[in-house]
Amino acid sequence: MPSWLLYTLGVVIFALGLVLSIALHEIGHMVPAKKFGVKVTQYMVGFGQTIWSVKRGDTEYGVKAFPLGGYIRMVGMLPPPKLDANAQARGITRGFFGRLIADARAAEDKETKTTDESRLFYRLAWWKKVIVMAGGPMMNVVLAILLLGAVFMGIGLRTPSLDVAEVSECVLATALATDCSGSTQASPAQRAGLQAGDRVVSFNGSQVESWDQLSRAIQDNGAGRAVLGVVRDGKAMTLTTNTVVAPRPGDSVAQETVEVGFLGVTPGLTRERQSFGFVVSTMGDYTKRTGSAITQMPQRMVGVFKAAVGIEDRDPESPMSVVGASRVAGEVATTDTISWTDRWAMLLTLLGVVNLFVALFNFIPLLPLDGGHIAGALYEAATRGIARLRGRPDPGYADVAQLLPIAYGLASVLIVMGVVLIWADIVNPITLAG
């Protein structure tokens, strides 16, 4: 199959997976909203011109021209304004932002006045609002678990085995060296007579069950005697040598290199299916890393902007747009050094990580993100609960319309970020090769 066709196939598969994720995200909002009786007038995948739609009951279901997002329209998202003792609206009522809020309420009124009050979103109990707004990002969390679970538990991960894939001819001079240039000392594995294809079963009389166990034993051995139990062509044999102390990469950035025992073997790789516990722990690790990436996004965007205008090289750890992720998917599909199984595993992992990012990003407690509406519902619960405990009048529903200036500001920032990211992904993209 031509490489251009494979590239296109990878992009299309990723794009379809992304559109499906968006569609399911909106279903995560719509199903509980309808369950709680809220009137949902639209369920749309994409933005712009509607290219197809059908109406079922109260809801118009459709697809728009640009499938880079989606939305559902619930009636009564904005409550009526709170009035003071003079029957005047409280909060921001004047100036540009006052008009903005008033216009938003007016647009809501057109549908609100023709809808039964019990079906208005703002009339829901606070915990129902939380469920409705959390339903979308939680759907992405479920998708991430399913996709990563399919990779880890179904396809399996390529992990180092006890089979020897390669024997180093020398003791590498530095931790970053890739060949024997500058080194004349034969490696302990070479001196012992180890060969590619051997399987190491014991080290200094202790049976080894995994590469990690063998690697730790070698490193802890320092410059000591090493007795290797090996199986070669079905026959057991014992090989003897002495490991040497050599610099190797440390476990942290601060610990660049460490002096450890060195044997000089490269393990083979085998595909192993992982347990559900591995999926859970890996999801926890991915969640921490994704959360950290989100908090660092503002400062990373400075580097993206510089890369977009050609001031500096693109940081491989910088954020990507949908365009950048699609390019990576295309590269994965055309990588001929890995099997089709590995390509599918990488594509599914990419989709899983994107879904996890979408979920965590949407939980940011600012409008227009889902987390902003969740924060509004929790604020409402707190203020009404405190008033009830103090015997004071019910303060009523949280007026999230007062946060619309923040919502429009954040939306503008997100649009600018999106444009910069897309441009950077076109002129200075992140590639698999780095």
Q: What is the pLDDT of residues 139-167, one digit of tens each?
A: 999 999 999 999 999 999 889 999 999 99
Homologous superfamily of the 158-272 domain (CATH): PDZ domain (2.30.42.10)
Q: Are strands 235-242 and 225-232 parallel, antiparallel or unpaired?
A: antiparallel
Range 401-404, long-range pairs (CB < 8 A, 24+ positions): 401/78, 401/79, 401/81, 401/91, 401/101, 401/104, 401/105, 402/91, 402/92, 402/101, 403/367, 403/372, 403/376, 404/97, 404/100, 404/101, 404/104, 404/367
The question of whether 169 is a catalytic residue gets the answer no
Task: Work out the mean pLDDT of the chain and round it to a whole number.
Answer: 89
Q: And the tokens for 335?
A: 């990588």
Cα separation of 387 and 410, whole Å? 31
Across 169-178, 296-305, 311-320, 387-396, least confident range: 169-178
Q: And the tokens for 39?
A: 């009137």
**Residue 327 half-sphere exposure toward CB, CA atoms < 13 A:** 17
Cα separation of 325 and 340, whole Å? 19
DSSP 58-74: TEEEEEEEEEEEEEEEE
Helix (H, G, I), strand (E, B) or coil at 146: helix
Report which residue type is found at 86: N
Reported as a single tens digit per residue, the pLDDT across 25-69 is: 999 999 999 999 999 999 999 988 999 999 999 999 999 998 878
**Residue 296 half-sphere exposure toward CB, CA atoms < 13 A:** 12
Q: What is the pLDDT of residue 253?
A: 47
Asked if the bond preceding 368 is cis, omega within 30° of 0, the reply is yes
Q: And the tokens for 214?
A: 């063998």
Cα–Cα–Cα angle for 396, 399, 405, rounded to 5 degrees: 170
Run of H or E including 385 = helix 370-389
Report which residue type is found at 171: V
Q: Quick check: 141 and 25 in contact, CB under 8 A?
A: no
Reported as a single tens digit per residue, the pLDDT across 189-203 is: 999 999 999 999 999
Report which residue type is found at 308: A
Average pLDDT over residues 229-250: 89
The answer on pLDDT for 178 being more than 70 is no
- Would you place residue 311 in the very low, low, confident or very high pLDDT band (cuts 50, 70, 90)? confident
Report which residue type is found at 288: K
Q: List helix spans (H) across 64-184.
A: 95-112, 126-149
Residue closest to 167 by CA, chosen among 188, 186, 192, 195: 195
Question: What is the percent of the chain with per-residue pLDDT over 70, rounded to a whole number?
Answer: 95
Run of H or E including 18 = helix 3-35
Q: What is the pLDDT of residue 98?
A: 87
Cα separation of 79 and 108, whole Å? 9
DSSP 264-278: -EEEEEEEEPPPHHH
Residue of 26, 108, 331, 380 marked catalytic: 26
The answer on pLDDT for 287 being more than 60 is yes
The answer on pLDDT for 255 being more than 60 is no
Cα–Cα–Cα angle for 338, 343, 347, rounded to 5 degrees: 150
Residue closest to 329 by CA, chosen among 314, 346, 353, 354: 346
Reported as a single tens digit per residue, the pLDDT across 353-411 is: 999 999 999 999 998 899 999 999 999 999 999 999 999 988 888 888 888 888 989 99
Neighbours of 427 (CB within 10 A): 12
